Structure 1
Amino acid sequence: MIKITPFLSRYNFIFIPLLLLISLIILSLNFQSNPEIAPYFIIDFLFTIPVVYFLLIRKKDIHKFTVVSVFILGVLFSSFLIPIENQGILELAKLYIIPILELVVFSTILLKVRKLYQGYKNNNTQNHDFFETIHTASLEIFPSKIASFLATEITVFYYAFFKWKSTTVRNNEFTYHKEGTYTGILLGILLVIVIETFVLHVLVAEWSIVTAWIFSGFSIYTFIQVVAILKSIRSRRIVVDEENQKLYLRFGFLGKVEVDFRTIKSVRSASYNTENIDHLSFIGSFTGANIIIDFKEEISYNYFYGVKKKCNSLALIVDDKVTFIERVQNLINK
């Protein structure tokens, strides 16, 4: 028999706030007949549930900053459930509290990033970069999915606007932007975005100026993302870490694999026909591959925005494939 009580006690920080949330949603059906109760519901959504959640997690191994996520969830539900004409308190919260929370969260992340970089510097660690540091700092504050999303968004702006200086390729690093057709494809995508944005804006503007600018805003952000991907492909390299017996495979900030040498079965040269094999590149088999890595067991790897994928073999492109194959094959045969 399943012991329900210990289970509920262990996860009460989820069930109790969720029960309160569901109760508020059900009771919100009375808004039309009792609009004067709307402010009390807003207070419960924005303050009561987060406070209850905080009291339940204060002695658990859960970061206290997750209260911010509960508060944002309350803001979203309030926005949808409470009539617009009764959202006075909610508008004040959006105007004053949310900006303060954003400032606190980003300041905390930056302080943790600074601390992590100082630690890397003191330990002379080579296998770190901006994305890894931001992701690690975000994981100390938010759940995994939120941390991955936030780290990706920050990384996009870092590479698009701030990362200009290239670094020297170390002896244990391998690039992958020269042999592949990634650069040409991504530049082509940028050209299509520019043309599509202009044409779509003109066409939609005849119907609605606001909608036209919304579409253009999405297109501009997509343009920024592609630029960031292009620059990160040159900066985030494949690393063969002999000291820690690990192989770090990367494709910009969109793909990451971290495996022990002992889990690698073989590293072999590949033609550009790599059907039915997972590709580290988000473009997939369209760009082909010149190396296939086979694993002794199924491994998981990170994709865009922290999405997890699994594979038994992985296809990728390495500029100096001969040296890469020789080095990795020698290390896994030791």
Structure 2
Amino acid sequence: MESFEPQNYLRKSVIFGLPILMIIFSVLILKSRSYLARPDLMSFAVTFDFLFTIPIIYYFLIRSTKITKNSISILLTLNIILATIFISNQNQFYLNFFKKWFLPLLEVIIIGILVFKVRKGIRDLSEPENRHLDFFNILKKVAESIVPKSLVTPLSTEIAVFYYGFLNWKKPILKENEFSYHKKSAIIAILSSIIFLTITETFVVHKLLVKWNDAFAWVITAISIYTIIQIFGILRAIPKRPIAVLKNGISIKYSFISETFVEFENIRNVEMYNSEILKKGNIKYFSPFGKFEGNNIKIELMNEQTVESFYGIKRKLNTFVLNVDDENEFIKQVKLSLPKT
């Protein structure tokens, strides 16, 4: 049991208590007679406190502590929400100005920092310990140092969609320990067909809906276009993120929507397996597309493994199947690396 340290407790009380007191004081000002007497001036003062004074003071309070700097963005978001609620609509000029001009600028700065750090990370891929990492892995590591943990995977996924979909056109060259999983599968054809059908359907549905409600028609069209872009990014990333047999385990990836690292010590058995999987059985598909992907390899684990799926959704697997194009070589390399019993 940790001993009670008054000094440490007092410091934490100041770090979190002072910003909370300032927020409460700002809200009380908005409810006071002084605010009603000079709404323009007081709105400017309170908006400045919410958006600048409180976050800056909080930064200086946590600067020499282990508290993540990402918490500043959480505080700023909270302050924007509170300011929007408590400042009267007719006096939100400065708040709206910040939302319109400063927030996009902050987003550009964050994306710029991400791009710079990712480019640096990519240059470090030549290091032996980093060779199993790729753009998406590095992107998530960089995002962890910039944005709150809850936003890391969603932000990384959105950027990955555009990177793999529209920016990375280099044909992948597989190393001896890397294995593709799309050549014997019909998933590329299935996803391509879905994209084509969605484009056609979007055009037809838009024409019908625009006669009823123009705004609603464009909302549905925007959602459809976003879906098409997502599927296209997933499709294009499949050949660019191969499965790799590494020194300590297997890096198993499926586009950027399913990924895990299985240590050799956790593998009980690996074998050929072409049978269809029962829905309620203990064996699961590694691919999110399930039986549409097909399978020719089964991996049985000693302990349950966590798999990170689309947008950070996690699932547990104990025995699972996957599809590998060169299944014989894959099994050979894995079995040679398994601990000798």
TM-score class, shorter: 0.7 to 0.9
Displacement of 1:79: 3.7
Q: Residue deviations 1:50-75, cap 9 Å, x none?
A: 23432332122344354234323433
Instruction: Verify the 8 A CA contact 2:206 2:217 in the aligned structure 1.
Output: yes
Greater CA drift, 85-94 or 115-124: 115-124
Distance 1:11-1:248 versus aligned 2 partners, 3 A rule: farther
Distance of aligned partners of 1:85 and 1:2 in 2 relative to their CA distance in 1, 3 Å threshold: farther
* Bigger Cα Rg: 2
Q: Which letter maps to 2:298?
A: I
Q: 2:76 aligned with 1:71, yes or no?
A: yes
1:171-320 correspondence runs (5 A)? 171-242=176-247, 245-270=248-273, 271-275=275-279, 276=281, 277-320=283-326
Query: Does the 8 Å CA contact 2:303/2:318 hold for their aligned counterparts?
Result: yes
Cα offset for 1:88?
0.5
Query: Deviation string for 1:90-131 (max 9, x for gaps)?
Result: 111123321321222122212211222222235584212111
Q: Give the direction of change, closer, same or farther, for the CA distance of 1:161–1:22 in structure 2 (3 Å limit).
A: same
Code of the aligned partner of 2:134: D
Amino acid at match of 2:277: N
Q: Aligned partners of 2:258, 2:204: CA distance in 1, in Å?
A: 32
Q: Check 1:76–1:251 CA distance in 2 against 1; reply closer, same or farther (3 A cut).
A: farther
In structure 2, the CA distance between the partners of 1:289 and 1:58, relative to structure 1 (3 Å rule), is same
TM-score when scaled to structure 1?
A: 0.86
Amino acid at match of 1:186: L
Distance across 1 between alignment mates of 2:64 and 2:75: 17
3-state SS of 1:101 partner: helix
User: Please, what is the CA RMSD of the aligned residues?
Assistant: 3.2
Residue 261 (structure 1) shift: 0.7
**Residue 319 (structure 1) shift:** 1.2
TM-score (normalised: structure 2): 0.84
Counterparts of 2:164 and 2:15, CA distance in 1: 37
Q: Give the deviation of 1:143 after TM superposition.
A: 2.8
1:61 equivalent to 2:61? Answer: no
Q: Which residue of 1 aligns with 2:327?
A: 321
Distance of 2:207 and 2:265 partners within structure 1: 57
Q: 17-26 or 214-223, which moves further after superposition?
A: 17-26
Q: Distance in 2 between matches of 1:199 and 1:10?
A: 62
Alignment of 1:2-21 (within 5 A): 16=17, 19=20
The 2-side partners of 1:169 and 1:307 are apart by 28
3-state SS, counterpart of residue 169 of structure 2 = coil
TM-superposed CA distance for 1:148, in Å, is 1.4
Q: Equivalences for 1:106-121 in 2 at 5 Å?
A: 106-121=111-126
* 1-structure distance, mates of 2:225, 2:29: 39
CA–CA distance in 2 between the matches of 1:9 and 1:109?
36
Q: CA deviation at 1:20?
A: 5.4
Give the distance between the partners of 2:293 and 2:23, measured in 1 at CA.
48
Gaps of 5+ in 2: none
Q: Percent identity?
A: 34
How many equivalent residue pairs?
Answer: 332
Counterpart CA distance in 2 for 1:102 and 1:60 is 26
Superposed CA deviations along residues 246-296 of structure 1, whole A, max 9, x for unmatched, are: 210000011110121101111122212253333322223443422221111
Task: Give ranges in structure 1 of 5+ residues lacking alignment.
Answer: none
Distance 1:182 1:21 in 2: 55
SS in 2 for 1:203: helix
SS in 2 for 1:234: coil
Deviates more, 1:201-210 or 1:292-301: 201-210
Task: Determine if contact 2:182/2:188 at 8 Å carries over to the other structure.
Answer: yes
Partner of 1:50: 55
Q: Write the distance in 1 (CA, Å) between the matches of 2:163 and 2:265.
A: 35
